[in-house]
Chains A and B, each alone.
Chain A
Amino acid sequence: MRIVSPTGKFVFATVEYASGDWESAPALPGNLIDSLVRYTTIEAEPAGVSVRLDSAEVFNYPFLWLTGHLPVRFSDAERQNLKRYVERGGFIMVDDHNHDITGIFHQTATAEIERLFGKMKRLPNDHEIYRCFFEFKGGPPHTQHELNGWGDDLLHPYLDAVLVGDRIGLLYSSKDYSSEWNFHPETKQHMQQDITKFGVNLIVYALTR
């Protein structure tokens, strides 16, 4: 784990939690940071960090990414920190790396989230997060895993969220952006379309709302 002293710069932080494979998308942070500095003037640390959810350190990173394939069972300290983190204004993206709503990650992660915050709300597809930088008129962009029929073989047209007031504190995705954006950095130059643009929206939203 690399610790970055708290500054005004954006730091991409991946959540370490005790029960699962939190490190399952190691190339994702670099790709999103690359897109962020490419499209915006936001100051960002060039490399991401990982941070334990049960540590006080987590509060130094108001943007967190949580993913995995395995069961999610938070410890008491992890639960306590996650609730406090969201209530204080942090933004955490939880993404199902299995892309399977019958899968173990989805079942256990949503149970943990709803245990802490109650039932998540379906985010309307004209929400600010779909237009705060790039515009996504149809809501969340689909991933290759959805289009190829992997996982649960479903196109998930919505994201779910825990709202604090009218602000998103926790965003939950069954779309498997963790696979979509976990490619080798060199690959991007060969893409006709940059598939990470929605990731930029997530960060811009977190930094401005």
Chain B
Amino acid sequence: MPSPGSGPRARVALEWALRLTAFALLGWYLVDALREGGQERVERAEHGALAAELRRWSTSSAPERVAVTLAHSPEGRERDWLGALAGAGTEVGWSGPELLPTAVMVEPRADPMGGVDVSASAPRGATVTLRDSLGELGSAPASEWGVGAVLPASVRSVNAAVGAVTAGAALEDSLSLRRLMVVGAAGWETKFVIAALEERGWDVDAHVVVSPKGDVKQGDVGDRLDTARYSVVLAVDSTAARYGESIARFVRQGGGLVLWPSAAGVRAFAGVAPAATLGERIEDTGRVPSDSAPREVLELHPLTRLSDDAEVLERRGSAVAIAARRVGIGRVLQLGYANSWRWRMAGGTDAPELHRQWLTDVVGRVAYTGRLQLPPRPTTSAPLVALFDRLGMPATDGQDPDEGWGGEVPGWLFFVIGACLIAEWASRRVRGVR
């Protein structure tokens, strides 16, 4: 049986133990923090002073940690310099709450007139401003897919600015276009397809079927079709059957093929066409094709029973008007439109030029092209991605980039100290001691 007075003594001892524990932990933390603070130097820099600070950090000063706040995407040199600091042992923290994810890509167009396809990605609704070395080219709000533009051949590199971020891209190679081969019966579509492509600058060979006794041939037309000579074969109608197997082989070897509705029934094309069948013909309305929607009035043979790997490129209402697929290493594009010549002849003021552009775009989507590498130009096509790649994740929104370093009381320590002091205080109060 415990002796009288042993209970209160034990309680007093416990209270002392709790008190000592709390103070010991606090003391340990303070000593540790003082020791760390004495050894470590944290430097901060705003964007405007970054270049100067980088020089200082790399020469006279050697901080263990740097915290950088970026107002816009840093130049590649600054980014790499920060990366080098990190590689040399300095912990680099950064933040840039105003920086929007932006990327830009440029590709040469398969078009004898040259030109560059530009695709810029940005958050939906953000204004994307495109510039080249001579100045601003234009701006547009980003859609779900970003912003796309076709620029003249003279443009070799493009910057896309979105808020404080500027992404840049330069052409890496140029295209070497081959000739085109058009096969079709003597008729307006064949004639105007050849004319439009030649006017655009393509070199066109043609086999125009006129009669069993004699055809009209243009260029050095032979039975053999290969990618050393041709980029694309255009099969305007079923007369292409005479080249059927050659064309199918040409596609599998990397060549491009454009099929008009009348050519879709050729047996040799059954294995390569994006659509297995054509729907019921929708007749030409006879109306004048407008410049804004010229193909709305053209005769249409809807593409149906598309192959699994076919990609729909254009619809008219619910009908598939243009589709494409890969076959081997080549590509096939199938048109549902017939008699596009009506657009050129009867359309609005710009119809001939728009028709040429459209046909060139159709051909360019499947064209086999050799590529010639251009001298590289240093650009950053996705600045934020490059920053993440070089420096890791930024401080989260509202957090200081050097937050988390030194002076912070760890949560568990705070909890244990608090629990000890509360238990000690409660014990004393229960005993009636203040």
Do the two chains bind?
yes
Chain A residues with Cβ below 8 Å from B45 are none
B345 touches A60 (CB 8 A): yes
A207 to B186, CA, bound (A): 6
User: Contact partner of B188 among A87, A204, A207, CB < 8 A?
Assistant: A207
Q: A88–B352 contact, CB under 8 A?
A: yes
Q: B346 within 8 Å of A by Cβ?
A: yes
B34 contacts the other chain (Cβ, under 8 Å)?
no
The residue from A85, A132, A207 contacting B187, defined by CB atoms under 8 A apart: A207
Which B residues are in CB contact (< 8 Å) with A89?
A: 191-192, 195, 344-345, 352
Contacts of B341 in A (CB 8 A): 62
Interface segment among A1-9, A16-24, A45-53, A147-155: the answer is A1-9
What is the chain B residue whose CB lies nearest that of A10?
A: B187
Contact residues of B: prevailing secondary structure: mixed
Q: A89-B345, A208-B186 are in contact. Are A41 and B339 (CB under 8 A)?
A: no
Interface size on A, residues (CB 8 A): 29
- The interface bits of chain B over 268-301 (1 if a CB of A lies within 8 angstroms of the residue's CB, else 0) are 0000000000000001101010000000000100
Report how far A121 CA is from B186 CA in the complex, Å: 26
> Are A40's CB and B284's CB within 8 A?
no
The dominant DSSP class at the A interface is loop
Q: Per-residue 0/1 for B181-199: is the Cβ within 8 Å of any A Cβ (1 yes, 0 no)?
A: 0000111111110010001
Chain B nearest CB, measured from A68 CB (Å):
24
Instruction: Give Cα A5–Cα B346 distance, bound, in whole angstroms.
Output: 13
* A133 and B352 alpha carbons, distance in the complex (Å): 28
Kindly state the separation between the CA atoms of A52 and B209 in the bound complex, as whole angstroms.
31
Residue of A nearest to B212 (CB): A41
In chain B, positions 349-380 with a C-beta closer than 8 Å to chain A are: 351-352
Q: A7-B339, A8-B339, A204-B216 are in contact. List 15 more A-B contacts (CB 8 A).
A: A6-B299, A8-B187, A40-B211, A42-B186, A43-B187, A56-B288, A59-B342, A59-B346, A60-B346, A85-B345, A89-B344, A133-B214, A206-B191, A207-B188, A209-B191
Interchain residue pairs A-B with the least CB separation, the first 8 = A59-B346, A207-B186, A40-B211, A59-B345, A208-B216, A208-B208, A6-B284, A8-B187
